[in-house]
Amino acid sequence: MKIKKLVKLLSLLAFVLLYSCTEEELDVSNPNDPTFDAIETEAGLTQLATGVYNHATFGVAWGYHWVVQAYHEAMGDAMYIPWGNFGFRWANQPTSITLDDGTVVLPPQEGPQGEALEVRNVRTQTSGNAFAWEWESMYRVNNTTNLLLSLLEGTELSGDADLKIAVFRAWAYYWKGYAYSRIGSMYTAGLIISEPGVTNGDFVSNTEVLAEARRNLDLAKAELGQISSDITTVISSIIPSNLVPSPFRGSAPSATLTRDAWIRNINTLMARNILANTKVTDMTAADWTEITNLTNEGIQATDYFFVMKQDGNNWEVNTTLNSRFILGWHFLSERLVQDFKDGDQRFTDNVTVLGSPEVNRSGRGIQYGTRFGLVAQADYSTTENDKANVYYAGSYDENELMKAEALIYSGQIDAGLALIDAVRDHQQAGLAPVSGTGLNLEEALEELRVERRIGLFLRGVSFYDARRWDVTKTPRTGLSVLDGSGNVNTNATFNYNYLDYWSVPDQELEFNQPNEGSVPVVSPN
């Protein structure tokens, strides 16, 4: 129940900051710098640290767990969302689709994705501005970590105070690094803010934001590297009960975040930041070497990793990606289904053929159609407690597939394929090994592509992959789609033409105009 208490505390803080009265009215020394004794205690710091994990958006706790994650999966064409709520419909609208017979189908309303989203990048759109959700979520996290860091030295702690301060500081640096990772991986520009409750108009490039992410992740590793004591007791006070990873097939990861596992999580996130933000064609030998080094020291199969799961206590509102498939918000993409290999047990156990195919849902475009659905209460789609994970950062599967990709591009094709086999075995896919079968580079990369699509489904990397593989900009052929009459086309061409990076949301710019010398805040593509 820690998260619920913290949300109330942060709401009170926001209220006081926004509605502080004058000195004459309250007879206080500085009404614009309020303090809260409840936070400046060990219990207060513990709950503040716990709240970082919630990623709530101004009291809407599902903003990140559902809405933000949904944009990523839909823009990676792993699923589709035909509804206009939250700007979903416009975020996954291709510019055109060419059918098998050469017929070009355009969206029935408005133009390319970027234009449709930019039109809605105004503060008056409120929840309909897709650009705002991830920005607000992550800067809320950043502000919470800044507050935590600012209070650490001045708060009396019981027991081994030095250990607690080191763990709290590492926690703050990790989540600051995470927040900047998300901002730098999604927006064309961002802000670097290191003090609580303040902002600035010095917008910097996403490259600089990612560098700040790396700096904070390095600081977290440095803090952890100096700890020689067991962190179990301290870290367990920060992580609520519903943040224990449950297994997706494979063996269950540890329920405890150890110091070494935490460092390995950081290495995996660092590797993701490089991979996700570099076009494959721009990757250098040095980049692949760095990814190899980081993933060699990345998450292991038995390590704790950062997730949230519905437990009926801390989290019971059925607003995650997993539950929204059951509730009719999200639908399985034909393009994802075609990437399953024959005999994949993950398909057998999770995908079902609809009795009546969805065709051009609500007349909003033929991309919003499918013959397939997800089995309820299985691995991907569930409303049951203690079942599905909502992923924040990396996992063992993602770490191994990044390592496999680096090996393949570095000329060690069979070693990379062996890691793909290992991930499939871990997820109990039941597929025959592809290593040792003499695949060439092109064939090996196709195995990698489909496994990242299937093995990392709902892990938050679908859009990153589409972008770095240039699917967002270069038309993709050989795709499955239902035409307006429900006929199956198997060699369609999708011209997605999606924005690679989003503009800064007007929710920010309306109140914080860029200073002179700031980089452009509107996406160039």
User: Which residue type sits at 163?
Assistant: L
Cβ atoms of 514 and 497 closer than 8 Å: no
pLDDT at 382: 87
Indicate the number of domains in the chain: 1
pLDDT at 23: 32
pLDDT at 136: 93
The alpha carbon torsion through 481, 483, 486, 487 (nearest 10 deg) reads -80
> Residue 410 falls within a domain, yes or no?
no
Residue range(s) defining the domain that contains residue 20 = 1-36
Coil, strand or helix at 510: coil
Structure tokens at 115: 């234009």
Candidates 151, 230, 140; CA nearest to 193 is 140
User: Which residue type sits at 98?
Assistant: T
pLDDT in tens, the chain (525 residues): 343 444 334 433 433 333 233 333 333 334 444 455 678 899 999 999 988 876 654 445 578 888 999 999 999 999 999 999 999 999 999 999 999 999 999 999 998 999 999 999 999 998 999 999 999 999 999 999 999 999 998 899 999 999 999 999 999 999 999 999 999 999 999 999 999 999 999 999 999 999 999 999 999 999 999 999 999 999 999 988 788 888 888 888 998 999 999 999 999 999 999 999 999 999 999 999 999 999 999 999 999 999 888 777 766 667 788 888 988 899 999 999 999 999 999 999 999 999 999 999 989 999 999 999 999 999 999 888 878 888 999 999 999 999 999 999 999 999 999 999 999 999 999 999 999 999 999 999 999 999 999 999 999 999 999 999 999 999 999 999 999 999 999 999 999 999 999 999 999 999 999 999 999 999 997
pLDDT at 55: 62
Structure tokens at 53: 């994990």
Coil, strand or helix at 493: strand
Phi, psi of 227 (to 5 degrees): -90, 125
pLDDT at 61: 57
> Residue 25 falls within a domain, yes or no?
yes
> Residue 13 falls within a domain, yes or no?
yes
Candidates 39, 81, 75, 5; CA nearest to 361 is 81
> Residue 457 falls within a domain, yes or no?
no
Coil, strand or helix at 390: strand
> What is the 3 state secondary structure string of 26-67?
HCCCCCCCCCCCCCCCHHHHHHHHHHHCCCCECCECHHHHHH
> Residue 9 falls within a domain, yes or no?
yes
pLDDT at 495: 98
Structure tokens at 280: 């494959």
pLDDT at 92: 96
DSSP 494: E
Task: State the Cα–Cα distance between residues 346 and 379, nearest whole angstrom.
Answer: 8
Structure tokens at 82: 């035909």
Cβ atoms of 92 and 482 closer than 8 Å: no
- State pTM to two decimals: 0.92
pLDDT at 293: 98
Q: What angle do CA 46, 306, 333 make, to 5 degrees?
A: 140
> Residue 225 falls within a domain, yes or no?
no
> Residue 3 falls within a domain, yes or no?
yes
Helix and strand totals (H; E) in the chain: 21, 12
> Residue 133 falls within a domain, yes or no?
no
pLDDT at 385: 81
